[in-house]
Amino acid sequence: MEVRHTEVDVVVIGGGSAGSTAAIRAQRELPVGRVLLLEKAHVKRSGAIAIGMDGLNNAVIPGHATPEQYVKEITMANDGIVNQRAVMAYAERSFEMIRQLDGWGVKFQKTQSGDFDVKKVHHNGSYVLPMPEGYDLKKILTRTIRRAGVRVSNRVMATRLLTAEDGRVAGVIGLDVRSGDLEIVHAPTVIRCCGASGRLGLPASGYLYGTYENPANAGDGYSLAYHAGAELTGIECFQINPLIKDYNGPACAYVTGPLGGHTVNARGHRFIESDYWSGQMMLEFYRELHSENGPVYLKLDHLAPETLTEIERVLHRTERPSRGRFHAGRGHGYASDLVEMHISEIGLCSGHSGSGVWVNEKGETTVAGLYAAGDMACVPHNYLLGAMTYGEICAESALRYLRDGRPGGGTSDARATGEPPTTGALAEQIALERARLVAALGRPRGIPHHQFEYKVRRLVNDYLQPPKTANRLRLGLEHFERALDELNEVGATSPHELMRFVEAGFIRDSAEMAARASLFRTESRWGLYHYRLDYPDLDDDAWFVHVNLRKASDGRMEAFKRAVAPYVVSLDAGERRSYYRIRVPATADSGAPVVAGAKGPPPARPTEVRPASSTSTHQELPS
């Protein structure tokens, strides 16, 4: 295993949507070669979207919505537990990013007058901008990366972050997944854009990589941040999505909604007013699915043939190219059949939910010089456009950090001397990580990586899948702690298997995070995402706070509370619980609205208007 050392100003980890815009923006102000983009696959087909996307879910376009309206919508969708300044930073720059993408050649749906054709899917506002020809988005981003002069290292996976003795980030340890060599990148700034923890729960199919999210996103960014000393937040707010039964893709009711499609129960009746994903929508979906009115379906058979053709053009070409073949294989068609829906495995994702690395409105984490964007950075419901926007925000923050100077003078011995470090904290970190990886290669007859991963993810399903209880969460935590020792028995026989070994560690870390955060928050919030049978009620008095995780001084994972910062856009009590009123009232022939005995968070208390004032978003409250 050879070790190569590289020194740059900015290193971006992950070549998806957020990583692409981060690298492009940083390169505009730095000499060619001073920005390095690491991607464990290939930037041309990397990230959650792989090739493209059929629309933007959260476009804040003048004339259709204001930043203040959007901030209010996301606050409602996330039960009030948000850093509104971070959401506002995105909202104010959303349209600027759309215009930039438009200039790069990304094709958005427009009206006959040339305006952006915005659709309403959210419970209240209009934010969805269709991209029926968005299948070439990643190709456009890759071309722009190349033209900008960004230096790219494909097939290099980050395994650990380097930190200086004062706690600042100092670079990345990367594994070349083809040669097995180590690439040590020394850099004073690191922007992590590693995607969701999408390989956490096990899909109903049992296939390790048959996940709702891109299976390459194994929680890399969550684990890297944690071991570098950064805080994570909202991990108990799981990502759970409606999908097509037996198919690892969304039913896309939000795509078909503006064209007349909607979700119905087995009796053919609508039971939710809005198909926009939120925890409360998923709780109503779960209740209906498991009631006498289940299963649940996407209904399109009432639409005109030309409308169905338009839906197929988007869903079968851009969203999931295999979707048309899946339906054809079962002999189903939208004109004659309902599309059976189910619930995805659990994951961690801020893009679709609210679980990720703690960041502020500048993309800064709690580690100096370390930034995060995209699905792994906790700016709730940020989606594709939010990932690209925050990629730019993080790059600008990193450039300011470089420009303003770094206390302590440099971040590594390599920056000062041009030689690899032989002593000190960095040398020790590199030696420990190399020894960890070499040890796995020294166990060719060890536990196969896929067996270890299957076991951990099956236990995630057994003990973490909502509805949650303390008894199951504690048992799961015991298993995940034991898995930390078992990981040292997993072997590898090639660089590819060594990559899977590292990913298995990321998955185990994510599982422990999910268990600890879920145990810590003793209430129910975010609908199905954190629905506890032993604490079925929402408790704003004790739990209107962020739950954060960090690595304690003794090396153990600890959970603690952070105050919700004062809002920049106020909400009244009724607005705060707007998403609790998406249930279509039951009629005589539509069946019972909920499973018998099922409970959920209560309606809003009329006195709750906004969070208590706090002088700092980093205030730590007593447990």
Is the previous residue joined to 295 through a cis bond, with omega within 30 degrees of 0? yes
Query: What whole-number distance in Å separates Cα of residue 116 and Cα of residue 176?
Result: 43
Phi, psi of 200 (to 5 degrees): -100, -65
Per-residue pLDDT of 158-202, as tens digits, reads: 999 999 999 999 999 999 999 999 999 999 999 999 999 999 999
Confidence of residue 406 (pLDDT cuts 50, 70, 90): low
Residue 432, pLDDT > 60, answer: yes
Residue 589: its pLDDT value, please? 55
Residue showing tokens 């076991």: 455
pTM, 2 dp: 0.92
Per-residue pLDDT of 265-294, as tens digits, reads: 999 999 998 887 789 999 999 999 999 999
Q: What is the mean pLDDT of residues 355-365?
A: 98
Residue 250: its pLDDT value, please? 83
Contact 215, 208 (CB under 8 A): yes
Q: Which helix (H) or strand (E) holds 620?
A: strand 620-621
Residue 601, pLDDT > 50, answer: no
Sheet holding 370-372, edge to edge: 151-154, 35-39, 10-13, 189-192, 370-372
Q: Is pLDDT larger for residue 418 or for residue 227?
A: 227
Q: What is the mean pLDDT of residues 315-336?
A: 90
Query: What whole-number distance in Å separates Cα of residue 51 and Cα of residue 43?
Result: 10
DSSP single-letter state for residue 9: S
Provide the CB-side half-sphere exposure for 250 (13 A, CA): 21
Residue 559, pLDDT > 60, answer: yes
Tokens standing for residue 136: 């070439």
Q: Is pLDDT larger for residue 124 or for residue 211?
A: 211
Confidence of residue 511 (pLDDT cuts 50, 70, 90): very high
| Domain 3-50+134-239+348-417 indexed as CATH 3.40.50.300 | no
Q: What is the mean pLDDT of residues 321-334?
A: 93
* Amino acid (1-letter code) at residue 390: Y
Assign 384 to helix, strand or coil.
helix
Tokens standing for residue 611: 């969070």
Question: For residue 579, which of 214, 43, 80 has the smallest C-alpha distance?
Answer: 80
Query: What whole-number distance in Å separates Cα of residue 89 and Cα of residue 471?
Result: 40
Tokens standing for residue 144: 């722009």
Phi, psi of 271 (to 5 degrees): -130, -10
Residue 609: its pLDDT value, please? 36
CATH of 242-342+576-581, one of 3.90.700, 1.10.3470, 3.10.50, 3.30.1490: 3.90.700
Torsion angle of the four alpha carbons 500, 501, 507, 510, in this order, in degrees rounded to the nearest 10: -140
Task: Return the beta strands (E) in 285-412 as ranges.
Answer: 296-299, 339-343, 356-357, 370-372
The alpha helices in 469-521, defined as continuous H runs, are 470-486, 495-520
- Of all residues in the chain, what percent carry a pLDDT higher than 70? 91
Q: Is pLDDT larger for residue 613 or for residue 311?
A: 311
Query: What whole-number distance in Å separates Cα of residue 580 and Cα of residue 557?
Result: 33
Residue 223, pLDDT > 70, answer: yes
Give the other-Cβ count within 10 Å of 417's Cβ.
Answer: 11
Residue 616: its pLDDT value, please? 34
Query: What whole-number distance in Å separates Cα of residue 278 and Cα of residue 402?
Result: 38
Query: What whole-number distance in Å separates Cα of residue 145 and Cα of residue 152?
Result: 9
Per-residue pLDDT of 198-222, as tens digits, reads: 999 999 988 999 999 999 999 999 9
Contact 144, 462 (CB under 8 A): no
**Contacts of residue 480, Cβ cutoff 8 Å, sequence gap at least 6:** 456, 459, 508, 511, 512, 515
Question: For residue 53, which of 95, 98, 107 has the smallest C-alpha distance?
Answer: 107
Confidence of residue 121 (pLDDT cuts 50, 70, 90): confident
Residue 103, pLDDT > 80, answer: yes
Identical fold for domains 3-50+134-239+348-417 and 242-342+576-581, yes or no, is no
Residue 206: its pLDDT value, please? 86
DSSP single-letter state for residue 235: T
Phi, psi of 560 (to 5 degrees): -155, 170
Is the previous residue joined to 242 through a cis bond, with omega within 30 degrees of 0? no
Tokens standing for residue 195: 């995607």
Residue 409: its pLDDT value, please? 37
Residue 560, pLDDT > 70, answer: yes
DSSP single-letter state for residue 419: S
Question: For residue 570, which of 609, 617, 603 has the smallest C-alpha distance?
Answer: 609
Confidence of residue 622 (pLDDT cuts 50, 70, 90): very low
Rg of the Cα trace of the chain? Answer: 23
Angle of helix 383-404 relative to helix 84-104, nearest 10 degrees?
100
Confidence of residue 422 (pLDDT cuts 50, 70, 90): low
What DSSP line would sit under 21-83, residue for residue? HHHHHHHTTS-TTSEEEEESS-GGG-STTTT--SEES----TTT--HHHHHHHHHHHTTT-S-
Residue 605: its pLDDT value, please? 34
Residue 233, pLDDT > 60, answer: yes
Lowest-confidence region among 256-260, 300-304, 342-346, 409-413: 409-413
Residue 142: its pLDDT value, please? 96
Q: Where are the domains of the chain?
A: 3-50+134-239+348-417, 242-342+576-581
Query: What whole-number distance in Å separates Cα of residue 266 and Cα of residue 591?
Result: 10
Give the other-Cβ count within 10 Å of 30's Cβ.
Answer: 18
Phi, psi of 285 (to 5 degrees): -60, -45
Contact 491, 440 (CB under 8 A): yes
Confidence of residue 132 (pLDDT cuts 50, 70, 90): confident
Four-residue CA torsion sign, 228, 231, 233, 235: positive
Residue 612: its pLDDT value, please? 40
